[in-house]
């Protein structure tokens, strides 16, 4: 796969249907590499659906149908011969509610690697440690790696989920409102982390929080009723939105 190109996710004419109901309409978008792209819009506008279509998590929903294409590293992820498992390894995901597995902290981070068939203990330890360090969690948990992950606080759990994703050294990390279940301090930590992570990863984040989008993202996409209304650099979107609807939304007039 040729991943050196500047825009590594190219969405072309994407339509998505749940049964007979269409949820996404003709999305065209080029997501830049090593930048944070925020997806904003009112509830039910399709931003989460769009996010999940990037790593094909929508496959799990029965009757979900997609046409158009998403090209990742030059390859259509909905094309024939696409290895979904491989795709999900390269495109990691962090969910709205922290969802650590009911196993030890170490095993949580090592999980993805083990599923890939990594058995070497030293390699596992090294990778887990690096992932925890990168997720800014290592110092807090280094003495209790064997403890159950569910004993962590909500914010720690969410950083663990981030560590779990980056342990697989993905290219892209999808985040579905990762801070909506967290308190302000934990949120701030995650936001700092995102700022650090964007050096190495392309991050796409769904958020309901305008301030958060403004704080952390480089690009912003505004979704409305399943359509992509506007996509541009965050500063432009927030200072000079092209659409009236965008302005109404970010100034809090609806949503």
Partner 1 sequence: MSKNKKRMIKDGILQGITYLSSTVSLITLLAIVLFVFGRGYKLLNFDLIVENFESQGYVADLFDDFIFCDCPATIDLSDDFYYSEKWGIALSDGTDLLGKNIIEIEYIHPDSPFKMVQDKGIGEEPIILRTDYDIIRIAFEDYPTALSRYGAKNMIDSLNANNSIREIEFRTKGGGVRGSILTTIYLIGMTLMIALPIGVGAAIYLNEYAPINRITKLMRSLIETLTGVPSIIYGLMGLAIFVPLTVNLTSATGGNLISGALTLAVILMPVIIRTTEESLKVVPDEYRQASLAVGANKTQTTFKVVLPSALPGILTATLLAIGRIIGESAALVFAIGTSIKDDVSLTGKSTTLAVHIWAMMTDEPANIELSATIAIIIIFIVVILNIIIKIISSRYLKQKMGASS
Partner 2 sequence: MPDTLNYYQKNNSKKGLIIDRIAKNIFLSMAILSSSFIIIIAGIILVRGIIPFTTDNLGIGRVSLLRFLTGNTWLIGQTFASNLYSIGFIIASTLFITILSLLISFPVGVLTALFIAKVAPPSLAKILRTVVETLASIPSIVFGLFGAGVILKIVYDFSALIGYQSKGGNSILSVVIVLALMTIPTITTISEVAIRSVDQSIERGSLALGASKTQTNFKVVLSSAKSGIFTAAILGIGRSLGEATAVSLVAGGRRSGFSFDLLDTTSTLTTIMLEGLKETTGIDYDIRFSVGLVLMVVILLTNLLLNAVKRRVGVVNVKE
Residue numbers at the binding site for partner 2 (CB under 8 A): 55, 57, 60, 85-89, 92-93, 95, 97, 99-103, 111-112, 114-116, 148, 150-151, 161, 164-165, 168
**Any contact of residue 117 with partner 1 (CB under 8 A)?**
yes
Which of partner 1, partner 2, none binds 33 (CB below 5-8 Å, type-dependent)? none
Name the 3-class secondary structure at 187: helix
24 binds, among partner 2, partner 1, none (CB under 5 to 8 A by kind): none
Using CB distances below 5 to 8 A depending on partner kind, what does residue 150 bind out of partner 1, partner 2, none? partner 2
Taking the complex as a whole, how short is the minimal distance between the CB of residue 116 and partner 1, in angstroms?
7
Looking at the DSSP bridge assignments, the partners of residue 172 are 91, 202
Q: Any bridge partners for residue 140, and if so which?
A: none
Please identify, among the stretches 13-21, 33-41, 50-58, 82-90, the one whose residues bind partner 1 according to the rule CB under 8 A.
Answer: 82-90
Dist. CA 204–CA 93, nearest whole Å:
9
For residues 141 and 147, what is the distance between their CA atoms, to the nearest angstrom?
9
> Which three-class secondary structure state does DSSP give residue 66?
strand
Query: Phi, psi at residue 42, to the nearest 5°?
Result: -65, 165
By C-beta, is 116 or 125 nearer to partner 1? Answer: 116
Q: Which of 5, 7, 67, 86 binds partner 1 (CB under 8 A)?
A: 86
Asked if 85 is part of the footprint of partner 1 (rule: CB under 8 A), the reply reads yes
**Residue 186 CB neighbour total at 10 angstroms:** 19
CB atoms within 10 A of CB 80: 5
Among 83, 120, 123, 196, binds partner 1 (CB under 8 A): 83
DSSP letters spanning 52-65? HHHTTGGGGSTTEE
Please report, as ranges, the residues that interact with partner 1 according to CB under 8 A.
Answer: 83, 85-86, 116-117
């Amino acid at each position: 796969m040729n991943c050196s190109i500047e825009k590594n996710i190219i969405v072309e004419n994407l339509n998505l249907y749940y049964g007979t109901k269409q949820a996404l309409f003709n999305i065209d978008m080029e997501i830049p590499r090593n930048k944070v792209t925020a997806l904003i819009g009112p509830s039910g506008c399709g931003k989460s659906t769009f996010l999940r279509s990037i790593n094909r998590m929508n496959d799990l929903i029965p009757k979900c149908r997609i046409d158009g294409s998403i090209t990742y590293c030059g390859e259509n992820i909905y094309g024939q011969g696409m290895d979904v498992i491989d795709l999900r390894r390269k495109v990691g995901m962090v969910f709205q509610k922290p969802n650590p597995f009911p196993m030890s902290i170490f095993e949580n981070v090592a999980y993805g690697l083990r599923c890939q068939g990594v058995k070497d203990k030293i390699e596992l330890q090294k990778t887990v440690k690096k992932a925890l360090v990168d997720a800014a969690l290592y110092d807090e948990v280094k003495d209790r790696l064997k403890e159950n992950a569910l004993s962590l606080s909500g914010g720690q759990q969410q950083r663990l989920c981030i560590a779990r994703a980056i342990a697989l050294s993905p290219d892209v990390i999808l985040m579905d409102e990762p801070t909506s279940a967290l308190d302000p301090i934990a949120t701030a930590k995650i936001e700092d982390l995102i700022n650090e992570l964007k050096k190495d990863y392309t991050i796409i984040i769904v958020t309901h929080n305008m301030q958060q989008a403004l704080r952390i993202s480089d690009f912003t996409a505004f979704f409305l009723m399943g359509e992509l209304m506007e996509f541009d650099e965050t500063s432009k979107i927030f200072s000079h939105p092209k659409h009236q609807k965008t302005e109404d939304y970010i100034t809090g007039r609806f949503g």
